[in-house]
Structure 1
C-alpha cells in the first residue's frame, strides 16, 4: 500500500498519457515505447539531459510495478481516487482555473522527449502561469525555447529558474545556455559562481577557462587550464580546453605557441591521438609560415616518439616537402633517404629525390644528381624513372 500511495502523488495515467481504463497490454506498449525513447538519452554527454532521462527511467520502472500488477494497481487507483476527493494536487501539478489538476511540467517534458518542442513550450508556459514556482516547467520552458531558437525566451526562463533554485546545477545550466548563445562574458560569470559553490569540479573550472578563451584572452585561458590539469591530472575535460587553445593560437598565426602547448600536453597524455593531432597540425602550420627548418626538427622528434603513427609520417612528408620548396635541397634529400630506408615501398621519397636530381642539374651539380640516380637505381633497378635520372 505504501508504494501505491506514494505513486499516487504523481498521476501515472496523466504522466504517460494512458487512459485510466486501459488494459495491461496497452499500458505495457506505452511504457516500452517511452523507455525506448528515454534510454537513448541516458548516455548523453549533457549532464542535465542525462539526469532527466534517468528520472524518466525511474518513473517508467515505478509505473510498471504499480500499473502492471493487478493488486498494486487496484490500491493505486483507490489512493488516487482518495487524493482526488481530498482535493490534493502534486507540487508541480497545481489546479488550473477550471479546477482540473494538470502536471504541466511533466507534460512539457513528455513533449520534449517526443521531439515536439513547440507543444513543450506551450505546456511549460502554462505550467509557469498556473504555478510560478513550478521549477520543472521553468526548466522545460528554457529547453523548449532553446530548441526552437527562441533565445530571448530561453534566457528569461533560465534566469527565472536560477532565481528560484540557485544551486550549482542551475548555475551551470544557465552558463551553458549563455555559452551556446555566444555570450562568453556572461557565461564566465555564472561558471565562476558555480565554481565558488563547487570548487572540486574540474569540469566547471575548465568551462570557466573555456569562456575566457572564447573572449580572446588566450594566454590567460591557457594558464588557467594548466592549473586545472595540475589539480585534476586524471580528468579528461581540461586537456580539451588546451587543444582548443592550440587551434585558436594557429588561427592567430602563432603556430610556435600552439606547438609548445601541444608538446607539453603530449607529456601529460602521451597516448591521446587528439593531442598528437594538434601537435602535428601545429608543426605543419609552422612550416607553412616559413619556418620549415624548425618544423623539421620538431617533426623528427615527434616521428621518433611515434614511429608507427600515420599522423607523424604524414607530417614528416609534408615538412620535408616544404624544406625542399624553401631551397633546403640537401636537408630534404637527407630526410628523404631516411624515409626511403624506413619505408621502402613509400612513393614519396623517390619522387622528392627525382625532383632533387633535376634541381641539382639546374644548379650545375651533376655529380650530386648522378649519386642520387645511381643509389635509386640500385635500390629499385626496375623503375624507368630511376634509369632516366641516372642517364
Structure 2
C-alpha cells in the first residue's frame, strides 16, 4: 500500500512543529473545503480526497507516537519506478487518465496526461482546465495561468473555470485579477455562496473593507456553519474594527473616542460569536481586545502635577490650622481652606482618573484626533 507524504500534502517540512502543522492544516482546509461543492467532478473528487488526506495528516502528525512511527516509515520508503504503458497514445483517453491521476493526488502524472489530452483535443476546454489544475498543483503558476485562460477562452460561460483562475491569482497575491475572475464566476452562478465569498475576500484585500464586510456578512448568513466563510467574515470584522481607530504619524493606531470604543466592542462580540479556533486569528483578536480593554479601563493614567498638588495641600492645611488656632472670625477662613483642599484633590483626580480612550485623546495631536471614527 502506498504511503502518502503528509508533509508534501500540507506544504511543510518534516521538521515542522506541532503549531506549524496546525496552521498548515487550517490553511489547507480553507483552501480545499470550498472545492468539495465544485460543479466539476474531477475537482470535487480531488477536493474530497485532499480533505480526507488532511484529516489523516491531522490524526498522525499531531500525535507524537504516531508521528514518530510515520516518520520512520517515510524514511524507509522506496519509490518504485513507474512501469511503461503499452498501446497507441491516440487510442487512449488521456483526459480521463489525467482526471484519474488528479483524483489520486498524482499531480505530475496528471499533468503529463493532460498535456497529451490537449495535444489530442486542442479545442477541448476540459483538457486545458485539467492541465491548468495539475500545473497549479505542481507550482507551475505561469503554465497554469496560460492553460486556465485557454479553458476560459474556449468556454467563457463556465463559472468553475473563472473560479479556478481566481484561486490561482489569489494564491499569488494578484487580488485585482482574482476579483475579476471571482466576480465573473459569481455572475455566471449567483447561487454559489463560495464564489461571492471570494469576491468579498478579494474586495477586502484591495482595501474595500466596507464592501467586503457586506458581501461576507450575506455569505455567512447563507452558510453560517461553514468554517471557511466564517473565517473570511472574521478577518473582515477585524479590519472593520481597526480601520475606525485613530492613526498616528508612524502608522500605529489607538482608540481616541468613545464611539471608537463602542464600535470595537460591538464588532468584537460578533467575532466571539463566530467561535473561530484558528491560532493566528485568535492571537490577532486578542491584540485588538487588549487595546479595547485598555481604552475602556478607568484609572489614574498619570501622576503629572502630583508634586504641585501635594505642596499646595500642605500650604492649605497649614493655613487652615493657623486660622482655626487663631479662632474667632478666622474660623470661616479655615473652613474655606479645608474646602479648597478637598476641591483641589477632587479636580486633580477627576482630570487624571479617566478612561484610557480619553487619556489617549489628551496625549494626541490635533491631527491624530481628527482621524478615525469621531
Q: What range is the shorter-chain TM-score in?
A: 0.3 to 0.5
- TM (norm. structure 1) is 0.46
- TM (norm. structure 2) is 0.48
Greater relative contact order: 1 or 2 (C-alpha under 8 angstroms, separation 6 or more)?
A: 2
